[in-house]
Amino acid sequence: MSPFATELTAARAAQESWARVPVRDRLRYVRALRALLAERADEICTTIQADIARSAVEVIGTELLPTAAALKFLEKRAARLLGATRISWWDQPTWLMGCRDTVHRRPWGVVGVIGTWNYPIYLNVVQLAQALVAGNAVLWKPSENVPRASELTRALFRDAGFPVALLQVLPATREAGPQLAETDVDHVVFTGSDGVGRKLAARLGERLIPSTLELSGCDAMFVLSDANVELAARAAWFGLTLNRGQTCIAVRRVFVQRERMEAFAEALAPLVRAEPLGLVLESQRAQAERLIADATKRGATTLQNPTPRPSAPPSSSTSRPMPRSAARRASRRSRPSSRSKRSTTRCHWRTGRRSDCPRRCSPRTLRRHRSWRRGFRPGA
């Protein structure tokens, strides 16, 4: 008896009726799911912060917005991409001249998804939604590192209206992943390390089960002689520290041309933090320490911030940033003015360039302004 036989049977029964639902009707649930992301944004940020200590800014920028964009893409393109496609005569070989060919896309059936933890909403929600929109049912093995985010993801799909039996959630354990590879699913999607991916691909290949594997990388950044060194340093630091480096496309190595190396190091040093970045897994911390020790042994030098960032003063209350409109009104009230005499000259000072306007107005606003206080005129 194959593992998870009960979940597999329920998923297959639900998938048979789900596959007969038109794609445009399936997309109604995707639209509801996208709306839930916006409605529960605060809850999602709090949940991910509790699981892996990510800030709300990072969650919104790297989880919510990309997920919403991916779901929007499905709403706009899925019906056409999954529809029947006629093959043009120009693409047919000569020996099939006179034939009429049409490609029909059919769902796999039941798809097994082995989820990841570094982007618990984006990577999991998008993969699940894509499989469901294509007419499949899903056996989902979430990561054991993000239990709260996994439960929230399940609730989002349920509250969006997807049939409950379509998404079968398996135990979030390390043993459940290999067990899923032994289940009689029709396709497997895996996101994780290349070591685990190799073993999984070998086992699935023996069973002739197709798979989609998104494995970790070792991406490099190259800084050439004509580069903007300051911009390159900021980009390198961003690529190194986004999600504390726990990203498959994070910068792992930086190659700098020798004549720009000193300038690049000087530009990068002020960005270095004194305290180490906290990692989720103990194995990650041990690997980072091992790599640093090995590099130092081979002659590498440690880059330190010459002027550590001052700590923020303690505050007994939290304050929200001033809205842009309120900040603009406060800025206008604080500007010097001369009410005694007005000028009838346009504010763009006959040049039309935004840089010549003391208020940095947009071109449309520049054309509308007919009179300015003399106190605002450049050089007055």
Give bridge partners of residue 187 from the DSSP assignment. Answer: 111
In a domain, 235, yes or no: yes
Residue 193 Cα distances to 118, 196, 207, 247, angstroms:
12, 6, 21, 11
> Which amino acid is located at 318 in the chain?
T
- pLDDT for the residue numbered 343: 39
Number of neighbouring beta carbons within 10 Å of residue 51: 19
If you search the block for the tokens 């009429």, which residue do you land on? 100
Using DSSP, state whether 278 is helix, strand or coil.
coil
Which ranges of 92-228 would DSSP assign to H, the alpha helix? 122-133, 147-159, 176-181, 194-206
- Pairing outcome for strands 187-192 and 110-114: parallel
- pLDDT for the residue numbered 371: 42
Using DSSP, state whether 44 is helix, strand or coil.
helix
Residue 349 Cα distances to 152, 216, 240, angstroms:
57, 56, 46
In a domain, 292, yes or no: no
Q: Are residues 178 and 222 in the same domain?
A: no
pLDDT values of the chain reduced to their tens digit, one per residue, 380 residues: 678 999 999 999 999 999 999 999 999 999 999 999 999 999 999 999 999 988 999 999 999 999 999 999 999 999 999 999 998 888 888 888 888 889 999 999 999 999 999 999 999 999 999 999 999 999 999 999 999 999 999 999 999 999 999 999 999 999 999 999 999 999 999 998 888 999 999 999 999 999 999 988 788 999 999 999 999 999 999 998 888 888 888 888 899 999 999 999 999 988 887 666 777 777 777 888 888 888 888 888 877 777 655 544 443 334 444 445 544 554 454 444 444 444 333 444 444 444 555 555 655 555 555 444 334 444 43
- pLDDT for the residue numbered 281: 75
In contact, 187 and 108? CB cutoff 8 Å? yes
- pLDDT for the residue numbered 308: 56
In contact, 184 and 153? CB cutoff 8 Å? no
- pLDDT for the residue numbered 29: 97
How many domains does the chain contain in total?
2
Q: Are residues 182 and 236 in the same domain?
A: no
**Last residue of some domain: 215, 240, 259?**
215
CATH number at residue 187: 3.40.605.10
Residue 140 Cα distances to 50, 112, 136, 199, angstroms:
22, 6, 12, 19
Q: Are residues 155 and 266 in the same domain?
A: no
Q: Are residues 123 and 208 in the same domain?
A: yes
> Which structural domain, as residue segments, surrounds residue 119?
14-83+101-215
Rounded-to-10 torsion of CA 129, 131, 135, 139: -100
Residue 357, Cα to own-chain centre: how many angstroms? 38
**Last residue of some domain: 249, 273, 297?**
273
Residue 356, Cα to own-chain centre: how many angstroms? 39
In a domain, 33, yes or no: yes
Q: Are residues 208 and 223 in the same domain?
A: no
- Pairing outcome for strands 372-373 and 342-343: antiparallel
Does 248 participate in catalysis according to the annotation?
yes
Number of neighbouring beta carbons within 10 Å of residue 67: 23
**Last residue of some domain: 245, 273, 301?**
273
Query: Which residue in the list 58, 75, 151, 214 is annotated as catalytic?
Result: 214
The model's pTM is 0.75
In a domain, 291, yes or no: no
User: What gap in Å lies between CA 305 and CA 372, rounded to an integer?
Assistant: 47
- pLDDT for the residue numbered 20: 95
Show Cβ contacts of residue 244 under 8 Å, excluding neighbours closer than 6 positions. 277, 278, 279
Query: Which residue in the list 45, 248, 347, 357 is annotated as catalytic?
Result: 248
In a domain, 152, yes or no: yes
Q: Are residues 190 and 224 in the same domain?
A: no
Does 99 participate in catalysis according to the annotation?
no
Q: Are residues 207 and 233 in the same domain?
A: no
User: What gap in Å lies between CA 148 and CA 124, rounded to an integer?
Assistant: 13
Q: Are residues 115 and 173 in the same domain?
A: yes
